[in-house]
Amino acid sequence: MIEVLKSLGYRPVSKSNAEYMYVAKYRDDTNPSLCVNSMKNYWYDFGIGKGGKLVDLLMLILKTNKVSEVINHCNKHLHLFYFNQQEKCPQKEKNKAYEITKIIKPVASASLIDYLTQRGIAKSTWNEHLYQIHYINQHGNFYALGFRNDQGGFEIRNKYMRSPICFGPKSITTIPGTDTAILFEGYFDFLSFKELKLYKGQSVILLNTTAKVKAGIEKIKTNFSNAKIECYLDNDMAGNEATRKIMDAYPFSKDKRWIYSGFKDLNELLISKVASEKKLANSPEASHVLARPKRLLP
């Protein structure tokens, strides 16, 4: 499977033991979410919640639902092995790449709470929204923060993950509110927005990945067509492109990323703000001011 992907122009972004992580170029993927296990010869795409054998993956890459087209393409172009025309498509493995064993709310793990604190999020901000998800995968037992999406899936993150993954169906998350709809790329951006005291009860659309920008646009069309639209996506290429698509669909929407100009996202701004306030509070000048006796009014 690794050799076939290489012949199709796919290069692993990272590797851990037998697991290779790829950007799923067959869809609008910006983070490496395609996992291939070379020992089991099995793949799983965390972005869409699907996995299987090589033929299943090639059907996605070649954008076909016909096994015969996959076989013909491989025999003509790959020359790595020969697909027998009579060979049946291997049945998809029924087991997921993970199993959720426990869901806890509110979050109780000291390490997860410490991770939230490091990212500048106070309990009063995250307590309402986050779950503690315990799960098992081929590497063992783990737990992480979970934020529920509109289809019942969980956007999963802990300090050891380079980027969020999804357990269950991948979907956007919406929170109804006022006649202003605000869009974010992920839930840390939304929580940072609240922490910065910018949240005033607006309706919220979390894309949970820029690959879901079309779903976000459709949600605006069906639920928030008369709302004021404000975009708070990342200051990077994926965020630029997603913001452009939203503003093309809704020309009166506002790009609010100037608020965190110089930072990738709202959470980077928040972390910088918290660090600056902490540094100021611990400075000798601050201690001198606090120790200075107050002048009495005449």
DSSP output for 242-289 = HHHHHHHH-TT-EE-GGGGTTSSSHHHHHHHHHHHHHHHHTSHHHHHH
pLDDT value at position 8?
Answer: 86
DSSP annotation string for 99-152: EEEEEESS---HHHHHHHHHTT--HHHHTTTEEEEEEEETTEEEEEEEEE-TTS
What's the CA gap between 252 and 229, in Å, rounded? Answer: 7
* Mean pLDDT computed over every residue of the chain: 86
As a whole number, mean pLDDT of residues 47-67 equals 84
Query: Could you give the dihedral angle defined by the CA atoms of residues 227, 147, 233 and 251, in that order, rounded to the nearest 10 degrees?
Result: -20
Cβ contacts of 210 within 8 Å, gap of 6 or more: 28, 30, 185, 233, 234, 238, 239, 241, 242
Q: Which pLDDT score is estimated for 49?
A: 73
SS3 26: coil
Checking if the pLDDT of 114 tops 60, the result is yes
Among the residue ranges 4-13, 116-125, 225-234, 277-286, the one predicted with the least confidence is: 277-286
Predicted local distance difference test score (pLDDT) of residue 184: 98
Domains of the chain: 2-78 (3.90.580.10), 97-171 (no CATH), 172-293 (3.40.1360.10)
Amino acid at 38: S
Indicate if the pLDDT at residue 130 is higher than 80. yes
Could you give the CA distance from residue 143 to residue 109 in angstroms, rounded to a whole number?
9
